[in-house]
Chain A
Amino acid sequence: MSKEMAPEHITIRTQMRIPYAYSAGLYVGRFLQELRDNEKIYANKCPKCGRLLLPPRIMCGRCSVRMGEWIEQGHKGTLVSFGVTIEPQVDVTTGENKKVPFTTAGIQLDGGAAILHLLEETDASKLRLGMRVEAVFKPREERQGLITDILHFKVVEE
């Protein structure tokens, strides 16, 4: 087949659009209720290895034992890692573009557990590991029992 006779490549466009009703379950469900109703961030503790896991869950994967005590983590913590996303990205939950830039951060909460959440600051040059950060909650009427009830964490001077 000579060049100009090259076959046309047909493509078929479709979109998968499936609404799911995910059960948060007993543990994440309770965690989200505490965010919504009491602005409390909880982790639970493995009775065997002592790890503090956030969000709380039914089983310590490492020890294969049921998780134990629920421990409040407070709103403050230390920045242990971060990534500033600059490239525009589509959000799988909406099919639309996410607002960029946004900073995803790993935060070691004073209560001992670690959480992944958003940082207010999106200029990487202004961020250093070890900085102190604090959770900013949405007003009660805007909170729906989702992780986004925490708007983001902001850098605090201490």
Chain B
Amino acid sequence: MTERIGIVATVQTKYEESKPRLHPSELLCEVVEEVMSETGLTFTRDGTGLEDSVTCCSDHWDGQIGSSKNAQDVAGGDLRESDNVSTGGANAFFLAVARLLSGSCDTILVTAHCKESQGQVGLIENMGFDPIYHRMLGLDFLSAAALQANRYMHKYAITSEQCAKVVVKNRGNAKNNPFSQAPLDLTVDDVLNSPVLAFPLKVLEVKPVSDGACAMILATESRAKKLTDKPVWVKGIANCYDSYYLGDRDLADCAALTNAAHRAYRMAEITNPRKEIDVVELSEYYSYQELLWLEGLGFCNKGEGGKLIDSGVTGMDRELPVNPSGGLLSGVPTMVDGLSRIAEAALQLKGEGGARQISGARTALAHSVMGVAGQMHFATILEK
């Protein structure tokens, strides 16, 4: 990238199964106020402060059209240019980076909020299936993921124990993360014995329903250095769509993720991700997805995700820590998922990871995924 873009500050709410007392605007207000006070920025209209924002929320998840009004009031949208991306917080981040690089502004606020507890997850996801061939079958993202999990485990002999190890690792890591919703001490057997929801996926292998929000300030290089002494630089950023129909692609592969990852690696001049990346925060809505996404990201060969988790390499104090934050499996709402991965990656590079800090982390990868059986992937490379 021509110019460097810096992450100045990131704030997350505590993720909770439900936050019944708070309206979405009140939920988001907390994190926006905190990130503004942390950077000393205020909303202005004379060019001296913050006048640009990109929010992220979904009309389906907020249960109304024009759901960006829930963010507008509290994210400085009045008589300023904000915009709302409904394809996940990571893609709102992507648009914000583009706005900074275009020279239209030198600082920008990025937010994402979602209260999954307000809606009915399965019914909202069913609306994500095309009405002509899929919707009347009653499919939701969970049943589609189960079709993908079964295909992936069959094709590459991935075992349910290996998938269970992902849950044990991530729910365990969550103990060190004050924002996480539901840390748990689990054994592989606990996971294997939890009731089956959609074979082969069991209850503990599925991301729980979650409410939460995340806010972040980005700035151009010169501005970022004035706002913080620990800026985190965006070195590579990309996303990519796969084909839509479940039967159009081999669900055991993720071509779109490999495509996005290669674009991001090229921009960041990374040739050997396994060696050059110190920590990974990826969006695993279901256990098997961490293994499959790691293959797509090029951290191991196709079909070797199972061996990777078996080797323990992706543990906290090992060569390639994956999801030290506890990942999505310990509870992060959709829409916020990608932005919280970026926030966690940035915290690692700022050395503010607390109990989950990876010592000496200099380069991090944050990943997000959207759609049916991981149709659209996002990857960004951050550096100290």
Contacts and interface: CB of A to CB of B under 8 A. Distances in A.
Q: Do chains A and B touch in the complex (CB under 8 A)?
A: yes
Interface of A: 12, 14, 16-29, 57-59, 61-62, 64
A14 B131 contact: yes
Contacts of A12: 131-132, 135-136
A114 B135 CA distance: 43
A19 B117 CA distance: 11
B275 interface: no
Contacts of A27: 23, 26
23 contacts: A12-B135, A16-B127, A18-B63, A19-B120, A21-B117, A22-B118, A23-B20, A23-B22, A25-B22, A25-B26, A26-B26, A27-B23, A28-B23, A57-B25, A57-B73, A58-B25, A58-B26, A58-B74, A59-B25, A59-B74, A61-B73, A61-B77, A64-B76
A24 B23 contact: yes
A27 B132 CA distance: 42
A26 B24 CA distance: 11
Contacts of A29: 21, 23
B40 to A, nearest CB: 14
Given A27-B23, A57-B25, A61-B78, A22 B63 contact: yes
Contacts of B115: 23
Interface string B113-126: 00101111001100
A16 B21 CA distance: 27
A26 B29 CA distance: 12
Contact of B119 (A14, A18, A28): A18
A63 to B, nearest CB: 9
Contacts of B72: 61
A26 B23 contact: yes
B42 interface: yes
Given A12-B136, A57-B25, A21 B118 contact: yes
Interface string B96-120: 0000000000000000000101111
Interface in B18-64: 19-26, 29, 42-43, 63
Given A23-B19, A25-B22, A64-B78, A59 B73 contact: yes
A158 B278 CA distance: 76
Contacts of A24: 23
A90 to B, nearest CB: 15
Nearest to B30: A58
4 A-B pairs with least C-beta separation: A25-B23, A61-B73, A20-B63, A64-B43
A14 B134 CA distance: 12
Contacts of A20: 63, 118-120
Interface string B236-269: 0000000000000000000000000000000000
Contact of B29 (A16, A19, A28, A59): A59
Contacts of A22: 63, 118
B25 A14 contact: no
Given A29-B23, A61-B78, A62-B78, 18 more contacts: A18-B63, A18-B124, A20-B119, A21-B118, A23-B21, A23-B22, A25-B22, A25-B23, A26-B23, A57-B73, A58-B29, A59-B29, A59-B74, A61-B72, A61-B73, A62-B79, A64-B42, A64-B78
Contacts of B78: 61-62, 64
Contacts of B19: 23
A81 to B, nearest CB: 21
A142 to B, nearest CB: 24
Contacts of A58: 23, 25-26, 29, 73-74
Nearest to B132: A12
Interface centre among A14, A17, A27, A58 (most CB of B within 10 A): A58
Contacts of B43: 64
Contacts of A62: 78-79
Nearest to B135: A14
A96 to B, nearest CB: 19
A24 to B, nearest CB: 7
